[in-house]
């Protein structure tokens, strides 16, 4: 059993911390956000993530997991320190690593014995060196430490499963001592033969960006194919399925939609392009994926406008605010673009998301938030389905029509039955599928 500190208790830190405590280690999750820590200490979840409450609860009861706002003490009491703070996009497109640097400084000041310092946050290549320098500059004794990069690949919505049963664990460690400790942290996975990729720090840092950028590329690719499908009368779902059957391609991340969002793909693609530019290496494919994505979000607004005409004076129902289902995260969500455009054009917006109403209200407090999809579509001139929540998949076209003022719907996730919409006289559009069904 090892003593572990997780600094930064967000989507990644909380899942990793509770997951590592579930592996049998003693974990303290620390954060400067006092409200968040207070909630966790009171047994409440600050985020929505399926299965996370049970995982947290189980490990608190087993006295393996606790929470603190005292970052310094948490560091002093632990032998492995995970840095999992936010690394948002800065104005110039690069990753802002100021929170990582702030944590490195506190680590330096509290380094009381030889420790493993491990970055889990997604950070630009070379950050390992910067973190090590800051720790060295701030330590008051000759105490040693070893730096490790351990990027995280979990997806919001299935984060618990992704963390406990990952496809691989990447450990960038120059020191054998540190690598052995990290292997021990992940022992249940290691003995289960989960691939552990042991590499240098720089390679580990790059693996994370290369992976996220590639997935973004796949999404933008299928979104562009969907636009072509619309022009030539092909069905993008059949195209994607047949493509995905090819083992070299795989069906994953070939789902057309309103454009990718979330806290990772948009900022990580942008950071990769900036990083490569600084080294005079053009990232043309990733640049194209970013442009396609921005265009796809705008294309959804145009699609809705083509169905309704001028938005001014209309009431539009928005179903889904999170950037994908099973999360309350709205960062870079396609709904932000849609709602922003609607409000700018003078429309009224009624919105519903099973988990993300509160987080979306931080961006747009002025719209009407509803408690059910029925309430959100009632008396609307048109509806846009923006997130693929299961409860929207089972919406009945007849009920929808009865509730709405006019039967107009844009399905940006292709989850509604075209046949049913057609049968009920809807004027509708989707992403890359022919309107007529055979």
* Residue listed under structure tokens 């430490």: 145
Residues that bind ligand NAD (CB under 6 A): 7-13, 31-33, 36, 71, 84-87, 99, 102-103, 121-122, 152, 154, 156, 263-264
* Euclidean distance between CA atoms 63 and 54, whole angstroms: 14
Please give the structure tokens belonging to residue 141.
């004794």
Angle formed by the axes of helices 201-232 and 127-138, nearest 10°: 140
Q: Are 226 and 236 in contact (CB under 8 A)?
A: yes
* Euclidean distance between CA atoms 377 and 1, whole angstroms: 53
Closer to ligand NAD at the Cβ: 108 or 432?
108
Q: Report the residue number whose CB is nearest to ligand NAD.
A: 10
Residue 207: its H or E element: helix 201-232
Which one of the listed residues 29, 229, 264, 370 is annotated catalytic? 264
Q: How far is the CB of 28 from ligand NAD (least distance, A)?
A: 12
CB atoms within 10 A of CB 44: 11
Q: How far is the CB of 9 from ligand NAD (least distance, A)?
A: 5
Q: How far is the CB of 379 from ligand NAD (least distance, A)?
A: 36
Closer to ligand NAD at the Cβ: 98 or 399?
98
Active site residue 118: no
Q: DSSP for 300-350?
A: HHHHHHHHHS--TT-EEEEE--SSSTT----TT-HHHHHHHHHHHTT-EEE
Q: How far is the CB of 72 from ligand NAD (least distance, A)?
A: 10
Sign of CA dihedral 366, 370, 373, 377: negative
Q: How far is the CB of 255 from ligand NAD (least distance, A)?
A: 17
Question: Catalytic site residues?
Answer: 264
């Amino acid at each position: 059993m090892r003593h572990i500190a997780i600094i930064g208790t967000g989507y990644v830190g909380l899942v990793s911390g509770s997951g590592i405590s579930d592996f049998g280690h003693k974990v303290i999750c620390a954060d400067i956000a006092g409200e968040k820590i207070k909630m966790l200490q009171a047994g409440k979840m600050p985020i929505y993530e399926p299965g996370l409450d049970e995982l947290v609860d189980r490990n608190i009861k087993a006295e393996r997991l606790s929470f603190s706002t005292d970052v310094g003490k948490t560091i002093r009491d632990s032998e492995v320190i995970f840095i999992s703070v936010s690394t948002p996009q800065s104005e110039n497109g690069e990753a802002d690593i100021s929170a990582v640097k702030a944590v490195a400084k506190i680590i330096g000041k509290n380094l009381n014995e030889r420790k493993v310092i491990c970055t889990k946050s997604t950070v630009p290549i070379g950050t390992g060196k910067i973190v090590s320098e800051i720790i060295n500059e701030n330590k008051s004794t000759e105490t040693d430490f070893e730096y490790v990069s351990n990027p995280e690949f979990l997806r919001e919505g299935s984060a618990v499963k992704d963390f406990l049963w990952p496809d691989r664990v990447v450990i960038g460690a120059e020191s054998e001592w540190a690598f052995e400790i990290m292997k021990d942290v992940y022992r249940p996975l290691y003995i289960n033969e989960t691939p552990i990729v042991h590499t240098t720090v720089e390679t580990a840092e790059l693996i994370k960006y290369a992976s996220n950028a590639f997935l973004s590329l796949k999404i933008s690719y299928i979104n562009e194919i969907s636009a072509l499908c619309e022009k030539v009368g092909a069905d993008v779902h059949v195209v994607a399925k047949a493509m995905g059957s090819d083992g070299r391609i795989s069906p994953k991340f070939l789902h057309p939609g309103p454009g990718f969002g979330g806290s990772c793909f948009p900022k990580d693609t942008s950071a990769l392009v900036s990083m490569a530019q600084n080294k005079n290496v053009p990232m043309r494919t990733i640049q194209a994926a970013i442009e396609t994505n921005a265009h796809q979000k705008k294309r959804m607004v145009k699609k809705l406008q083509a169905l309704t005409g001028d938005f001014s004076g209309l009431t539009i129902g928005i179903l889904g605010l999170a950037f994908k289902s099973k999360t309350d995260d709205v960062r870079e969500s396609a709904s932000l673009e849609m709602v922003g455009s609607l409000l700018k054009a003078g429309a009224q917006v009624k919105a519903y998301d099973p988990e993300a109403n509160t987080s979306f209200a931080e961006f747009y407090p002025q719209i009407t938030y509803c408690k059910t999809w029925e309430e959100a579509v009632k008396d609307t001139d048109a509806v846009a389905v923006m997130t693929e929540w299961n409860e929207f998949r089972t919406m009945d076209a007849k009920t929808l029509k009865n509730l709405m003022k006019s039967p107009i719907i844009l399905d940006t996730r292709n989850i509604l039955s075209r046949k049913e919409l057609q049968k009920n006289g809807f004027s509708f559009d989707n992403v890359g599928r022919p309107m007529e069904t055979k």
